[in-house]
Structure 1
Amino acid sequence: MAWIESTLSFLSPGWVGSLIGLAGLLAALIAYLCSRKRTSLSFAYLGEHLLGSDSASLPQGISVQYHGVDIPRLTRSIIVLWNNGENTILGSDVVEADQLRFCVGSDGELLSTSILKATRSVNDFKIKSPSAHAPNEAVVDFNYFDSGDGVVVEILHTSKSRQPDIKGTLRGLPNGLKSVGRMTRMPSPVKRAGPSRVFAIIASNITTWVPIFVGAAFILSAVFASPETLNAVLTFNLEQSNNAVMLMGGIYVLMGVISLYMFRRKHPKTLHVEALE
């Protein structure tokens, strides 16, 4: 029959099999992501020296006091802590002998802590005051964290290090908490509108998405375009045109993916606050 012959003719090129295989891989990946059940508690941080620096104390003749006591420097660290898995994490999962706690460098002391944002009040996240024997640590407590639940905490301290840490042991997390590293400040086009800011945002999007789209166009043309078309566009050998276009497309896509990865938001959107911009 004519329609059977036309169907077989359409399915005969090699790219059809490749496309079906790629679709099968994508379907398997999506099925895995939707069905996985992980237990993961992650955190990201952002730090800056408000007064002083990491190499020296305040200049001679300048002094800053906190509750009447001189401090060598003032450092602000912001921590975003959230349930990055699918399983619920209970506060009772924290081991009593190694409680969950925020820590700054041993060369400083923790001055104050404040919760900038919490996903839900029923999580009942609390921060205790530092003890006399561990002034650089603050024990925390919570009721539970469902998937995506978390808090944003601001810590003022005197340590040279701007990078805070979270210590403690939780049942079901043999590898401990997962640090996703330092957060990248992202500009807000709504609250910081202006010619230079808008230009920066447009430029950052261009450097990220244009290479991806251009690379995808090269790859699709290498898969679907005829050799005559490729030969008209490129000056490569006719038999190597597809491979050359595919390679060029892969390079462009890789450039965009690297930019997208470097400037991605590491924390959940529900936990974004102005202090992170």
Structure 2
Amino acid sequence: MSWFESTLNFLSPGWVGSLIGLAGLLAAVVAYLRSRKRTSLSFAYLGEHLLGSDSNALPEGISVQYHGADIPRLTRSVIVLWNSGENTILGSDVVSIDPLRFCIGTDGEMLSASILKETRSVNDFKIRHPSAHAPNEAIVEFNYFDSKDGVVVEILHTSASRHPRIKGTLRGLPEGMKSVGRMSRSPSLFKRTGLGRLFPFLIASMTTWLPITVGCAFMLTALFGSSETVNTVMTLNLEKSNTAVMMMGGLYLGMGLFSLYLLRRKHPKNLHVEALE
């Protein structure tokens, strides 16, 4: 048998065409992701009550002062703001009558707002002190944000709400800024025992990589395994066929990919700080 006939015999099974089609689809998705040009500004947040709670102020007999004035509670909110698109966002894109600003609940006031980290100093990100008529808002300014440029800001305030908001209008963003939600943190128990770094790895392994591995194993068995192998894998009362094994593999793979999506880091790696852990 010539090499040409051997090649034809290798390419004749149906799984080869399916594999080539899947590879072409993945290549098209990658090409689209690399060529797209979006204008997008995203933010994620993290909040906690340092003193007091969301339902009650400080217990009777306990008082905390800030610059000589009593405060009902002390809340800490951290905001990560970054350019999540490919197009550069200019500070001049902000509409002057609706400036970009950080906001907390109307039941409190901002005590301080500080920059924990910024990608580049040339972005010239600045935070104005809250005004007397809007003590719960702080206007921000910047020069420009290239793709993945951004800042991490810490806000100390007295609002019962731990979830800050960002308001303002930018040209080219008719739908406004995109909130990716609250960032997750490792439980304090694991931090105290020195397992702060190991805990996310264990969770990701059990809920993400294990199902992905099992799913890929099922799908490879359906594609390349013999009929005896397929029958051995199918121990349940299901149809003993490659299709059934492929469906099981797709189910496990989908579970793992969905978990991977939920556990992903929502902000750029270059904006990660210890305050987010």
- Where structure 2 has 5 or more consecutive residues not aligned to the other structure, the ranges are none
Counterpart position of 2:242: 242
In structure 1, the partner of 2:55 is: 55
| Correspondence list, 1:41-190, <5 A | 41-186=41-186
Aligned-partner SS, 2:97: helix
Rounded to whole Å, the distance in 2 between the matches of 1:67 and 1:238 is 71
TM-score (norm 1): 0.93
Q: CA deviation at 1:111?
A: 0.8
Contact 2:214/2:249 (8 A) holds in 1: yes
TM-score by length of structure 2 reads 0.93
Aligned equivalents of 2:145 and 2:73: distance in 1?
A: 34
CA contact (8 A) 2:186 2:199 kept: no
1:215 Cα deviation after fit:
1.0
Aligned CA distance change for structure 1 residues 62 and 39 (closer, same or farther; 3 Å): same
Verify the 8 A CA contact 1:120 1:149 in the aligned structure 2: yes
Structure 1 unaligned regions, length at least 5: none
Structure 1 partner of 2:202: 203
Aligned 8 A contact 1:214 1:253 in 2: yes
Contact 1:116–1:153 (CA<8 Å) still a contact in 2? yes
The one-letter amino acid of 2:202's match is A
Compared with structure 1, are the counterparts of its residues 40 and 201 closer, same or farther at alpha carbon in structure 2 (3 Å cutoff)?
closer
Once superposed, what is the RMSD of the aligned Cα atoms?
1.9
SS of residue matched to 2:114 = strand
How many equivalent pairs are there?
A: 273
Identity %: 74
Change (3 A) 1:5 1:193: farther
1:231 and 1:238 in contact (8 A); partners too: no
Once the 2 structures are TM-superposed, how far is the Cα of residue 199 of structure 1 from its aligned partner?
5.4
SS at structure 2 position matched to 1:96: coil
Q: Aligned partners of 2:25 and 2:8: how far apart in 1?
A: 23
Contact 1:227–1:238, Cα closer than 8 Å, also in 2: no
Q: Is the 8 A contact 2:63 2:71 kept in 1?
A: yes
Contact 1:44 1:266 in 2 (8 A): yes
Deviation of the 1:4 alpha carbon: 2.2
SS in 2 for 1:185: coil
Label 1:205 to 1:117 Cα distance change in 2 as closer, same or farther (>3 A). Answer: same
